[in-house]
Amino acid sequence: MSTSPTPSLTGTAAASTVIADTTKKLSNIEQQLADFAASTAKANKKAEAQSKIQVQTFEKQVRKSPYSTNGAATDIGTLVKDSTRLNVYSNIKKDDKGDVFKVRVQTAGEAQIGVLGDPGLRVQVMSRYGAVVADSKEGLGSTSDNYKALQKGDYKLPAGDYFIKVTNDGNGPVKDSKGNVLTSKNYAIQMSMGVYRKDYDTVAQQPKAGDGVPQQSVGQLELQNMLTAAQNFDTGLSGTAKLNNALFG
């Protein structure tokens, strides 16, 4: 009477390893699907709540400082949870060292960042002390992960001052659809925390020769104070595709 061969110890161990790896992959896929479903439900809920809000729009125009330091940063406003959304529109030249914008986060909450623009840009979010919190560059570990979380609105920012730095990514010249090298890259950045009732737009123009740290007018400071104090001035509805229309009209 013949009997089936008994698997060797090595063969059994290999089979167990394959099963374990397969189980782990399936578990990861299941978790990714669950995360996607949760993210979609969260986005839909936020969109539904936002659609019921009448939004007020405020705008200021400034000239950027020629210095790419936190001390010379262009202030784009205060991020107030479920109240304000901050938008900045600008461009960076080929040899620029970078643009720096200051954001004050009033209370801790899950913030979201949206960035549109020409290719070849790097965006970093830094603490008031200059430590990089989030970085759009891939492969930098936790700072890259934090940036991806910020894009989804899943990263909790503590209250305080932050700086957004925009630079060329250093990966060589970027060409347009006709093959011409871009000497200036347009971009738009948007930050929010939950829904918003006030849209605060900053148009940051290139500095002129001899310009230093940008100064805000009395009127611009009053607008910022209105946002911080959450006073109500009905100025109509804002566009729902502000970033999409900002660069290309």
Report the C-alpha gap between 120 and 182 in whole angstroms: 10
In this prediction, residues 232-247 reach a mean pLDDT of: 42
Q: Is 58 exposed, middle or buried (0-12, 13-18, 19+ CB in 10 A)?
A: buried
> DSSP strand E in 17-142: where?
56-63, 74-79, 84-93, 99-105, 109-117, 121-127, 132-135
Q: Each residue of 100-137: pLDDT tens digit?
A: 999 999 999 999 999 998 889 999 999 999 999 999 99
pTM above 0.75, yes or no: no
Report the C-alpha gap between 38 and 50 in whole angstroms: 18
Q: Are strands 74-79 and 99-105 parallel, antiparallel or unpaired?
A: parallel
Q: Each residue of 26-37: pLDDT tens digit?
A: 777 777 666 666
Q: Is the dihedral of CA 151, 141, 99, 75 positive or negative?
A: positive
Report the C-alpha gap between 104 and 39 in whole angstroms: 26
Q: Each residue of 53-66: pLDDT tens digit?
A: 788 888 889 998 88
Determine the pLDDT at residue 236. Answer: 36
Chain mean pLDDT for the chain: 79
Beta-bridge mates of residue 132: 126
Which residue do the tokens 């290999």 mark? 14
Q: Do the Cβ atoms of 103 and 161 come closer than 8 Å?
A: yes
Q: Which two tokens stand for residue 220?
A: 């611009």
Q: Each residue of 142-183: pLDDT tens digit?
A: 999 999 999 999 999 999 999 999 999 888 778 777 888 888
Determine the pLDDT at residue 137. Answer: 95
Backbone phi, then psi, for 37, in 5-degree steps? Answer: -65, -40
CA–chain centroid gap for 229, Å, is 24
Report the C-alpha gap between 227 and 88 in whole angstroms: 16
Q: Each residue of 208-236: pLDDT tens digit?
A: 766 554 454 444 444 444 444 433 333 33
Determine the pLDDT at residue 167. Answer: 94
Q: Do the Cβ atoms of 52 and 82 come closer than 8 Å?
A: no
Measured distance between the N- and C-terminal CA atoms of the chain, rounded to whole angstroms: 84
Determine the pLDDT at residue 17. Answer: 79
Report the C-alpha gap between 91 and 201 in whole angstroms: 15
Geometric angle at alpha carbon 242, from 162 and 96, rounded to 5°: 50
Around Cβ 84, how many Cβ atoms within 10 Å?
24
